[in-house]
Amino acid sequence: MQEFIKEVEKKEIGKIVQDVSLSKYTTYKVGGIAPVIIYPKNKGKLVSLLKLIRKYDLKYKILGNGSNLLFSDQTYDGVLIKLDCFDTMTFVRNKVICGAGVSLMKVAKEAVKRGLCGLEFASGIPGTIGGAIYMNAGAYNSDMGYIVQSVTVVTDDLRIITLTNKEMDFHYRTSFLQSHENYICLEAVLKLAKGDKKELDAIVKERRARRMESQPLEYPSAGSVFRNPDGMYAGKLIEDIGLKGKRKGGAEVSLKHANFIVNKNRASAKDIHDLILYVQDKVYEHYGIKLKIEQEFVNWEKETCQKSSKRKK
């Protein structure tokens, strides 16, 4: 790893941060140590970084705002890349061209300020543009798939190309990028529409009040844990079998909203992980419905291997 870092420094790829706790980079406020996080300066530097990662045969992951991830408590044995320098946001009439590292909430706020509608659903989603496109983030019966015109990506063979909305294959909480994990979102063009600024302000204000009332924003979490099954609400399924307030260690099924698991009292990543799986199992036992986990588990391979080993013994 140190030889790799020396080459990154030599090529002046961008800022390097070493040996940091992932609890500082995730909204759950948990996770093990990251040996290195690198902030490439631009697209060219990112491609150079990816070439070096391949040269040294290292695993890597793009890390946005850490709002939909659950890292394990183990050390992450690889390179984390943050695209914070990809933070441009340019409005051209009813379109906005934004870098993958820009805050989704920031873009939504600016759009409303300009009287452009289409992004009101995103005013409370704490992710980056890149993460939102990857997950096809959404709320209030809308999502990124409705407004993305095109996405510029790095491909698995390190070419920079642009994909259309159709090619992005957006569906409920999924996109083309999830089935092509070596593709990286660099930039997106969002197509909005003219709206009434006062009406948009009122919608955002009303939804903010609703979130404050119904979501446990006072504790670290990563938003909704499970996707809603067709015609149902995951939170209601969980609540109706009495799991609100259920705890494992410092993790708790929120008393405000059963589809949120919160870091109530210095939870470990394992506390949260085990509680998520417990809820999933209990819902399946009761309803015969296997809830799909919306959050991504990262670096749990060792934990899984250890459990398998214990079962074999």
Q: How far apart are CA 257 and CA 234, in angstroms?
A: 10
CB 60 within 8 A of CB 182: no
Which residues face 91 on adjacent strands? Answer: 96
Helix (H) or strand (E) holding 159: none
User: Do residues 121 and 114 lie in contact, with contact meaning Cβ atoms separated by under 8 Å?
Assistant: no
Q: What single-letter amino acid sits at 140?
A: Y
Residues whose CB falls within 8 Å of the CB of residue 218, separated by 6 or more in sequence, listed in order: none
Is residue 110 within 8 A of residue 192, CB to CB? The reply is: no
* CB-CB contact of 251 with 267 (8 Å): yes
173 classed as catalytic: yes
Q: Which two structure tokens, joined as six digits, stand for 257?
A: 């909203």
Q: Which position among 120, 187, 252, 294 bears the catalytic label?
A: 294
Which stretches does DSSP call E strand in 128-171? Answer: 138-139, 142-143, 148-154, 160-164
Contact call for residues 39 and 82 (beta carbons, < 8 A): yes
- Does 142 qualify as catalytic in the annotation? no
User: What's the CA gap between 143 and 165, in Å, rounded?
Assistant: 13
125 in Cβ contact with 133 (< 8 Å): no
Catalytic position from the list 23, 175, 224, 268: 224
Q: Exactly one of 114, 173, 211, 227 is catalytic; which is it?
A: 173
The tokens 């009303």 sit on which residue? 206
175 counts as catalytic: no
R_g over Cα of the chain: 20
Residues annotated as catalytic (active site), given as ranges: 173, 224, 294
